[in-house]
Amino acid sequence: MIELEEISKSFGDVVAISNLSMNVKEGSITGFLGPNGAGKSTTLKLIVGEIYPNAGTVTVLGENPMNNPGLKRKLGYVSEHEDIYPWMKGHQFVTSLARLLLPREQAEVATKEAMNKVGLAITGKKIGAYSKGMKQRLKIAAAIIHNPDLLVLDEPVGGLDPLGRREMKELMTELNKEGATILISSHILYELDEMSSRMILIHRGQTLAEGAPADILALIDQFPHQILIQAPKDQLSLLSKLLIDESILKSLNFGETDNKLTAITNEPSKFYSIFTRIVAENNLTINHLESTTDNIEAIFEYLT
């Protein structure tokens, strides 16, 4: 589906990608993971034909994506930027893009179908009043309106709350079941593993590792993870006891304020799975959850 062979790309004296090779298999959801500045966005722009490589070859669906309108009709692309118009209504924005490909009546029907698929109602609300999650869904609706074979998404989960992230995962899974191959980037660990059938790690413009999520996470899980938890004071004692009972922690410390816990584990994948179950089973309220060692740069340095 996608093949990059020994790609290099520089912007002046800044080397964004150096001799990078990777492939994305048809029918997969491929997670593309790396720290900020690793070259993820540059790689995705090369794939959709927004920029030229300085060296190497990019092949998408068997073709060169540069200056290839026929190929781009088979692609859907969601950039990392909020390149949407706040003064427009959501359905107007999607319809205006659909009109580039379809007659008016077909564009309006396609807009309704795409917005329904991503869970957005057609209302009079302007995009400027949308939440972060609604804006991400709107961008995806615009990207899938022509039923693309390949969907490329740059950081679509960034800035979403836990519920929004779960809904995004469900949406990606559904679109994949309907036939779309998906390449989705992130710099946050554990956003991609549950939805991805394959993962690629990129660091300093080069491919570091690729394979099944379980294999990739086995590499990452070697690095100790510190997780900050904020919850109502009256629930922290129960939460800490239940976590300790699971024997997945190296340490658990109460913070300087009464509503914080700091957990350290060598098994982050297992921790997040157990933590979610404990919260759901005991109807606990979590105000904030953050991996403070989602300093992915440090983790990638550890792996290299």
* In-domain check, residue 217: no
Verify that 230 and 188 share a domain, yes or no: no
**pLDDT of the residue at 159:** 64
* In-domain check, residue 168: yes
What is the bridge-based pairing of β-strands 150-153 and 181-186? parallel
Verify that 175 and 26 share a domain, yes or no: yes
Residue environment code for 93-125, b if the CB has 16+ CB neighbours within 10 A, otherwise e: bbbebbeeebeeeebbebbeebbebbebebeee
273 lies in which domain range?
225-303
**pLDDT of the residue at 61:** 95
Domain end among 212, 233, 253? 212
3 state SS of 220:
helix
Tokens standing for residue 130: 């949308």
Verify that 236 and 205 share a domain, yes or no: no
What is the bridge-based pairing of β-strands 2-11 and 29-33? unpaired
Q: Which residue has the tokens 């469900």?
A: 170
Verify that 19 and 143 share a domain, yes or no: yes
Rounded to an integer, the average pLDDT of 140-149 is 93
Rounded to an integer, the average pLDDT of 142-158 is 91
* In-domain check, residue 13: yes
Cα–chain center distance at 268 = 18
* In-domain check, residue 218: no
Verify that 13 and 144 share a domain, yes or no: yes
Comparing 278 with 255, the larger pLDDT belongs to 278
Show the 3-state SS of 76-101. Answer: EEECCCCCCCCCCEHHHHHHHHHCCC
Verify that 262 and 143 share a domain, yes or no: no
* In-domain check, residue 174: yes
Verify that 159 and 284 share a domain, yes or no: no
- For the chain, what percent of residues have pLDDT higher than 90? 43
Q: Which residue has the tokens 């004692």?
A: 237
* In-domain check, residue 254: yes
User: Residues 44-101: pLDDT tens digits?
Assistant: 999 999 999 999 999 999 999 999 999 999 999 999 888 789 999 999 999 999 999 8
Whether residue 249 is predicted with pLDDT greater than 90 in this model: the reply is: no
* In-domain check, residue 220: no
pTM: 0.76
**pLDDT of the residue at 254:** 82
Verify that 103 and 229 share a domain, yes or no: no
Compute the distance between CA of residue 114 and CA of residue 171 in angstroms, rounded to an integer: 12
CATH number at residue 295: 3.30.70.920
Number of domains within the chain: 2
Verify that 175 and 138 share a domain, yes or no: yes
Which are the contacts of 128, defined by CB distance < 8 A and separation ≥ 6? Answer: 86, 87
Compute the distance between CA of residue 14 and CA of residue 217 in angstroms, rounded to an integer: 30
Compute the distance between CA of residue 97 and CA of residue 146 in angstroms, rounded to an integer: 10
CATH number at residue 67: 3.40.50.300
**pLDDT of the residue at 296:** 58
Tokens standing for residue 134: 């609604």
**pLDDT of the residue at 292:** 63
**Mean of all residue pLDDT scores within the chain:** 86
